[in-house]
Amino acid sequence: GSASNPLLSVRGLTKHFGAFAACSGIDLDIASGEIHALLGENGAGKSTLVKMLFGILDPSGGEILWDGRPVTITSPGEARALGIGMVFQHFSLFEALTVAENIALSLDPKISLAKISDEAARLSKVYGLPLDPKAHVADLSVGERQRIEIVRALLQNPKLIILDEPTSVLTPQEADRLFETLFTLKSEGRSVLYISHRLEEVRRICDRATVLRHGKVTGTCDPRQETPASLARMMVGTDVAGV
Ligand code: ADP
Ligand code: MG
């Protein structure tokens, strides 16, 4: 929390699947220029929360404030129009198409492929995401495929970019490269919501962390001021951690 208004505030956000609460009364603030971790074990409710922020899931309760204004986000298109970009855990790319052709599918059909290729190449240079717009997706590694998704999100000039467990598919070298990209985004004043269950990387790259357990926030902290044990306790609870 800074003195200025947060870019995004979530108040009491809740999602029920039948009788089961995947997210329950979640409060979260993200400032501009902040890399904010959403930390929690598998099943904690991380993906459910960000799917509500990106208009994929309809909240059962609570409120989302964007730049201080209450908003209802009912589709990814609405999320993108507000300035929210998302890089999913599972990519939706067409293997037989090129990088530029895949990116074109999510843009206005009036924009030419040549223009999209130029812009994708420019963004890939600026953000350190090596990518050939003419390459076929079928020939690309999973790390390269993720870069397409990041460039695709950046083409919309987002104020907030959400990444769901991005390093789970990356080599350590690719992860280091991604962290440099995130630092560049931060230096431009953009915000990052970084989902992970990996304590070490959250302590390395994130300014703040909100920890989820069983769909509830168990703490918000500066992860660099915490020990791995104290973060683990927030993630799994003292009963399981045995401390
Ligand atoms: P995380 O991303 O932290 O691993 P999720 O948000 O994917 O967790 O899931 C949180 C809980 O909600 C899990 O128990 C999961 O099984 C459940 N869940 C997620 N999506 C659905 C759904 N569409 N229908 C029913 N249960 C779901
Ligand atoms: Mg998930």
Protein residues within 5 Å, CB atom, of ion ligand 2: 46-47
Which DSSP string corresponds to 184-239? HHHHTT-EEEEEES-HHHHHHH-SEEEEEETTEEEEEE-GGGS-HHHHHHHHH-HH
15 in helix, strand or coil? Answer: strand
Residue nearest to atom 24 of ligand 1 (CA): 17
Query: What are the tens digits of pLDDT across the range 97-114?
Result: 999 999 999 888 999 999
- Strand partners of residue 36: 193, 208
Q: Kindly report the average pLDDT of the chain as a whole number.
A: 94
| Confidence category of residue 242, pLDDT binned at 50, 70, 90 | very low
- For the cut 50, the answer to whether the pLDDT of residue 243 exceeds it is no
71 in helix, strand or coil? Answer: strand
pLDDT score recorded for residue 239: 56
Query: What are the tens digits of pLDDT across the range 166-196?
Result: 999 999 999 999 999 999 999 999 999 999 9
CA of 45 to the centre of ligand 1 (A): 6
Contact 124, 130 (CB under 8 A): yes
ipTM of model: 0.99
58 in contact with ligand 1, CB cutoff 6 A: no
18 in contact with ligand 1, CB cutoff 6 A: no
Contact 181, 106 (CB under 8 A): no
- For the cut 50, the answer to whether the pLDDT of residue 1 exceeds it is no
Residue nearest to atom 25 of ligand 1 (CA): 17
Residue nearest to atom 27 of ligand 1 (CA): 17
Amino acid letter, residue 62: G
CA of 43 to the centre of ligand 1 (A): 6
168 in contact with ligand 1, CB cutoff 6 A: no
The structural domains of the chain, ordered by start, are 34-58+72-238 (3.40.50.300)
